[in-house]
Amino acid sequence: MIYLNSFLFAGVVCLICQIVLDNSKLTPGHITSGLTVIGAILSYAGIYDKIIRWCGAGATTLISNFGHTLYSAGLQGYESSGFLGILTGLLSSCGVAIVSVIVFSFIFTIVFKSKD
Amino acid sequence: MNKDEYAKLVKELSPKEPRIKNAIYAFLVGGLIGFIGEVIVNILIESFGLARVDSYAWLALIIIGISCLLTALGKFDNFVTKAKCGLIVPTTGFAHSVQSASLDYKREGFVTGIGANAFKLAGSVIVAGIISAFFLIILKVMCYG
């Protein structure tokens, strides 16, 4: 059942974004930034955890998961060590995405040539 | 030819986006990525004994690695022009933007090329996420203690 849910959730979010992209003057940059903010707001409202429980990887592969992990890691940091914990904890679980994208892109940029 | 006629002519001649086709492609490709992700997560949980939260992190790593590699090989741009939001909205789009920006600016050197331009497109996502998450945490802490 979770397979179907993850297919439907990821598909419907992409469908809505495609419709918004085609019918407005927004660029893909606006769409992804907006989705990140929406993810953080849904996490604030306590909804995103439930979506992940229902839809599994369908919710965590989307870019809105970035806002969710930032928010939840920051809140965890506040609970363990106060205000400074927000600043140190905010990137603790998003670090996977940021560090790995830098490492992979650096290696592949050195190895491969740009194809024009 | 006055301005109105010219605008009309431009509107007639500019290529029309096949909106329904785009939407169907985005739905199918985006859904397929979510489905494959769930399959990978279940494989990681059952054969490597990882916790569910850890396997989501491994999944992000795998997706980013594959999409960086495909972008570097020059295959990914064709997929993006077809599937559009189906590949831009998942984490693949984030990796694609960083990889293609750093490939494009490679010839300007490591510091002024790759270092300065790698996050040209993806930087907005990080800034928007951190700003919104930070202020929402402050709001939550002030409201609920």
Domain spans of chain A, in order of start: 2-111
pLDDT score at B92:
93
Residue B5 pLDDT grade (very low, low, confident, very high; cuts 50, 70, 90): confident
Q: What are residue A22's DSSP bridge partners?
A: none
Does A106 contact chain B (CB < 8 Å)?
Answer: yes
At B18, is the pLDDT very low, low, confident or very high (cuts 50, 70, 90)? Answer: confident
Q: Tens digit of pLDDT for each residue in B65-80?
A: 999 999 999 888 888 8
Report CB contact under 8 Å: A13, B63: no
Question: What does the DSSP assignment read for B92-144?
Answer: HHHHHHHHHHHHHTGGG-IIIIIIHHTTTTTHHHHHHHHHHHHHHHHHHHHHH
pLDDT of residue A115: 63
Q: In degrees rounded to 5, what are phi and psi of residue A62?
A: -75, 160
How would you write B38-92 as a 3-class SS string?
HHHHHHHHHHHCCCHHHHHHHHHHHHHHHHHHHHHCCCHHHHHHHHCHHHHCEHH
For range B30-51, the mean pLDDT: 93
Residues A16-57 have pLDDT tens digits of: 999 999 888 899 999 999 999 999 999 999 999 999 999 999
Kindly provide the ipTM of the predicted complex, given to two decimals. 0.91
Residues 22-61 of A with CB under 8 A from B: 22-23, 28-29, 31-37, 39-41, 43-44, 55-61
- Name residue B53's amino acid: V
When pLDDT is averaged across residues B41-60 and rounded to a whole number, the result is 93
Chain B residues 39-98 within an 8 A CB cutoff of chain A: 39-41, 56-57, 59-61, 63-65, 68-69, 71-74, 84-86, 88-91, 93-95, 98
